Structure 1
Amino acid sequence: MIQQKTITIIGSGFSSLAAASYLAQSGHKVTVYEKNDSIGGRARQLKIDGFTFDMGPSWYWMPDVFERFFADFGKKTTDYYELIKLSPAYRVYFGVDEFIAIADNLPEIVATFESIEKGSGAVLEKFMLEAQSNYDIAIKDLVYRPGVSPLELITVETAKKVGQFFSNISRDVRNKFKNEKLIQILEFPVLFLGAKPSDTPSFYSFMNFADFGLGTWHPKTGMFDVVRGMESLAVELGVKFVTNAAIEKIIVENKTAKGIVVNGTEIYSDVVLSGADYHHTETLLEEQHRAYSEKYWDSRVFAPSSLLFYVGFNKKIQNISHHALFFDTDFYQHAKDIYDEPRWPDEPLFYANFPSLTDASAAPEGMESAFFLVPLAPGIEDTEALRNEYFDKIMDRFESLTQQEVRSSIIVKQSFCKNDFVSEYNSYKGNAYGMANTLLQTAFLRPKLKSNKVGNLYFSGQLTVPGPGVPPALISGKLVSELIDKQFSKA
């Protein structure tokens, strides 16, 4: 039996929403405090002049993780939102009128590969069997472990694949495929893990199964549907939400978290759980209570920041798909500009998302809603002049590659970049995706879910276990709630 406690949760992103429901289900009294005026953290929604934009995550991958989350409460995703499987899943543009469309099923993808590189279809099928095996081990088992001990990674299954932890995705893919376009398509999914393919262990090929094997989905009216669904579940379980609640301090007495200071008011509780940026959360503590130094954070490999543009067009845009990747420039040079020698890239790769192709409510009738994203090094200079310069760069290429003029049709445009990640989300160095999942930043080597300096202080989210991405955030919330319940279980 679990002792009922009052629990304060800082931040309302996916990990916090998940943890709130799990903890409320266990009988705790849970209140979530969010500094902004809307819940959802980076997954907030932006509405301007009839256009609707998901401000953050836009790819719905690993649907099984979402199903598993809701099943823990006797629910299904369909109780809260509707999913649409995208067909094609996405397009990858390599030149003018030159793109590869990724189908919504593996047999068609295999056929596409075979048509581009003879013999690659059979190689892809074999590669995907390995990727599915890794997925079953990682996503159905390993990521649901709390990162407390290295022994968590040692299983009969991982022992068979130990070599994959010491090779990398880039090397593995290049040993199997020769066509540069196919290689880049296979390397693309691990970018969600926040590291270069050459720095990501081969075992993470499970992301390729998430892509080709499970497909790309879209909640009917955007990713914010998931936020609303999780909020509804939490409220059903008794969770309370407080917005416009800036956390100024975590109260510590006798090396134990006792509550928080919100907008100048002290609020006491038995447990403090932060789903906000881990580094920022520790700055709410006096220095002697912080588990990680500034030197530690500065030495970590962080996932990219992003330059985002939310754009509304007063006409329909041609020659596009819901998700589109523009890989017509040097993939590896851009990666170098993010990770090796941080700078603004001369010729950036970029991503475009057109939700109004799938969801008519995302834009007024006859119009188009879009957002464009350029990955950038965290901690980089961010000015209005640079934002405008890079908008022009990607619009020049977008118009050329899709063979149409669109700039004169823009009626809504709003940018979001490193400075906004810092001001809106207290994000360390303005990173967009958290800490990269490199070999030395995996599982027990990531910042801990439980503070080792302050009692009753816990963490969740993309800087801790299991890592960056929306599905891992849901899992992080589950893991931390289990640690809290374990602490307060009665014998």
Structure 2
Amino acid sequence: MNRRTTNPGTGSPPRAAASGPPADGSLRAPDGSRPSAVIIGGGISGLATAALLARDGHEVDLIEAREEVGGRAGSWERDGFRFDTGPSWYLMPEVFDHFLRLLGTSAAEELDLRPLDPAYRVLCEGYEEPLDLSASAARNADLFERIEPGAGLGLARYLDSAASTYDMALERFLYTSFTSPRSLLHPAVLARGPQLLRLLAEPLDRFVARRFRDPRLRQVLGYPAVFLGSSPDRTPSMYHLMSALDLTGGVQYPQGGFTELVDVIARLAVRHGARLHTGTRATRVLTEDHRGGRQRGAHLGGGPGRRAAARGVEIRTADGEVRELRADVVVATADLHHVETELLPRRLQTYPASWWSRRTPGPGAVLVLLGVRGALPELAHHTLLFTRDWDENFGALREGRVPSPASSYVCRPSATDPSVAPPGHENLFVLVPVPADASLGRGGVDGSGDPAIEEIAEEAIARLAAEAGIPDLTERIVVRRTIGPGEFAEDLGAWSGSMLGPAHTLRQSAFFRARNASRRVEGLLYAGSSTLPGIGLPMCLISAELVAKRMRGDRSSSPLPESEHVAGAPA
């Protein structure tokens, strides 16, 4: 699917026929009509929410301000190169499989997934030998043992704990909106209560340091904090569960890139009847003050202090027309800071500016997209470059300084996927974490970005060339584009220009994270990385499912059952 032509602009093309009856058999009103929902934002979470609600029998309209869907999971093409500009790690495959089965299909049917081995390569400053992390836990244990005697057994124990914690998270904490205490009072949770409290209280870096001495091993096990928009010293050690993903089952890659995943979910949303409108900006959430009468139920948001009910969204189309799109429910999947502070009046904001002033954004990023002539065997599909002084690196980010030298991440998808670069060329995506500060500026093509962004890019390219042993890298670059925090803030509405969303610190994780329903506006729900359960593509899919559960009044901590969906899947 060409995501630029999916129900574009102002029109409302003929709606695809909905498949089968509403899944729970209870959605039609007495007059035979179906409840309607407007979804703000066409990123992964918005598309996923549109697909699930349309599958459940709702009339769904999704509005996206940009001319293409995908949000942070975007793409850019030039001269035969195609770059993903967002997520690039396919982790938690069971979450993707479950979500697609809810829509009557599977990852095996929709995606051409390739296992990566090595899963990723690590280049540590001051060490000549790269570390290749494998899809095999046993081989990773052998690697750890070669570096530090006794660390092989230590890793096996660490991964056992990570896997057990991950299973507990899937079963009890990720698929719940915490509207009921039952998930926390389950016997399995109570039995592990003291251990879980310790994992919440102790930061990840200290948890790792008590088990391993070598700084390289500590970095490998602490790095997952960056996936969570945080740092190892501020991330609860509960998240050591992330190592159960990349060090045991390995990492996969969908051929065609992550743009293929976006297209799959968009296609499924349309197939189930959702209408997708690009080039259409939400300018205001329409509300109606409560004046007594029956309310629709706490599962649709609101609380004792609820003041209004959602009635739709005011939109501005690409040709400048302003009109109202009425609906029974509004689901905002755009950046929560933008939705709360820009689309609602102050009296109806659950999370006003004062709330955000006490929260911590994840880091910003400078992205460097490079088309390179010739082969680059020195790099794996995923390569991490770690600086020696991590404390300074993360400290600089917290203090609003750009670290120099900076740790960085490099993706070389052309190692696996020949479609992303012309023959005889390589495709590189370089990510440099920087402070979440939109004033750093915007990037550009061929060095035309703001000076601060281009300077960061130049240093990252030079360090990659030196650390990976590619002395002529700069001379071989034939395509170059940079993207800075300014684009994240202005083009995606990201709070402070963060590339990910609110960091997963203790105060911003699990039941402490922003909830997925307004307390002031009934029928206004939220999904995406700003809210439960958090950052990352799998979490965004789960956040969409949490909205579907709320719409059903399902307060369980379990995923939605798959059987009813598979049985009613479209042909």
Alignment TM-score, normalising by the size of structure 1: 0.96
Per-residue CA deviations over 1:59-105 (Å, capped at 9, x if unaligned) read 11111110111122232112211100101011110146431110121
Query: Conserved in 1, the CA contact under 8 Å of 2:135 and 2:246?
Result: no
Per-residue CA deviations over 1:394-430 (Å, capped at 9, x if unaligned) read 1221111122211111111111111100111101101
Asked if 1:5 corresponds to 2:5, the answer is no
Moved over 6 A (4+): none
Q: Describe how 1:113-262 pairs up with structure 2 within 5 A.
A: 113-148=144-179, 152-159=183-190, 160=192, 161=195, 162-254=197-289, 255-262=308-315
Asked if 1:412 corresponds to 2:447, the answer is no
Query: Conserved in 1, the CA contact under 8 Å of 2:438 and 2:489?
Result: no
Q: How many angstroms apart in 2 are the aligned matches of 1:153 and 1:363?
A: 49
Offset of 1:151 from its aligned partner? 5.7
Q: How many angstroms apart in 2 are the aligned matches of 1:167 and 1:401?
A: 33
- Helix, strand or coil at the partner of 1:230: helix
Q: How many angstroms apart in 2 are the aligned matches of 1:301 and 1:148?
A: 24
Q: Describe how 1:390-429 pairs up with structure 2 within 5 A.
A: 390-404=456-470, 405-429=472-496
Query: Conserved in 2, the CA contact under 8 Å of 1:97 and 1:403?
Result: no
Q: How many angstroms apart in 1 are the aligned matches of 2:150 and 2:492?
A: 47
Structure with larger Rg: 2
Query: Conserved in 1, the CA contact under 8 Å of 2:229 and 2:362?
Result: yes
Query: Conserved in 2, the CA contact under 8 Å of 1:106 and 1:212?
Result: yes
Q: Describe how 1:6-405 pairs up with structure 2 within 5 A.
A: 6-95=36-125, 97-148=128-179, 152-159=183-190, 160=192, 161=195, 162-254=197-289, 255-263=308-316, 264-282=322-340, 283-339=342-398, 341-379=399-437, 381-383=439-441, 384-404=450-470, 405=472
Per-residue CA deviations over 1:446-473 (Å, capped at 9, x if unaligned) read 2221111112111101111001111110
Query: Conserved in 2, the CA contact under 8 Å of 1:168 and 1:202?
Result: yes
Query: Conserved in 1, the CA contact under 8 Å of 2:454 and 2:482?
Result: no
Query: Conserved in 1, the CA contact under 8 Å of 2:457 and 2:482?
Result: no
Q: How many angstroms apart in 1 are the aligned matches of 2:84 and 2:95?
A: 20
Offset of 1:484 from its aligned partner? 2.0
Alignment TM-score, normalising by the size of structure 2: 0.83
In the alignment, residue 467 of structure 1 is paired with which amino acid?
G
* RMSD (Å) for aligned C-alpha atoms: 1.5
Q: How many angstroms apart in 2 are the aligned matches of 1:342 and 1:157?
A: 42
Per-residue CA deviations over 1:8-61 (Å, capped at 9, x if unaligned) read 001111111221111111110111111111111110111111100111001111
- Helix, strand or coil at the partner of 1:85: strand
Q: How many angstroms apart in 2 are the aligned matches of 1:104 and 1:367?
A: 27
In the alignment, residue 47 of structure 2 is paired with which amino acid?
L
- In the alignment, structure 2 segments of 5+ residues that lack a partner are 1-25, 29-33, 290-307, 317-321, 442-449, 555-571
Offset of 1:380 from its aligned partner? 5.3
Query: Conserved in 1, the CA contact under 8 Å of 2:438 and 2:486?
Result: no
Higher deviation after alignment, 89-98 or 51-60: 89-98
Offset of 1:185 from its aligned partner? 0.2
Q: How many angstroms apart in 2 are the aligned matches of 1:366 and 1:142?
A: 47
Q: Describe how 1:467-478 pairs up with structure 2 within 5 A.
A: 467-478=534-545
Q: How many angstroms apart in 1 are the aligned matches of 2:179 and 2:505?
A: 18
**Structure 1 counterpart of 2:516, from 435, 443, 449:** 449
In the alignment, residue 27 of structure 2 is paired with which amino acid?
I
Q: How many angstroms apart in 1 are the aligned matches of 2:285 and 2:482?
A: 32
Offset of 1:299 from its aligned partner? 1.0
* Percentage identity across paired residues of the two chains: 32
Per-residue CA deviations over 1:297-334 (Å, capped at 9, x if unaligned) read 02112111111011111222241111111113422211
Query: Conserved in 2, the CA contact under 8 Å of 1:46 and 1:55?
Result: yes
Return the structure number with greater helix share: 1
- In the alignment, structure 1 segments of 5+ residues that lack a partner are none
In the alignment, residue 259 of structure 1 is paired with which amino acid?
G
Offset of 1:150 from its aligned partner? 5.9
Higher deviation after alignment, 117-126 or 88-97: 88-97
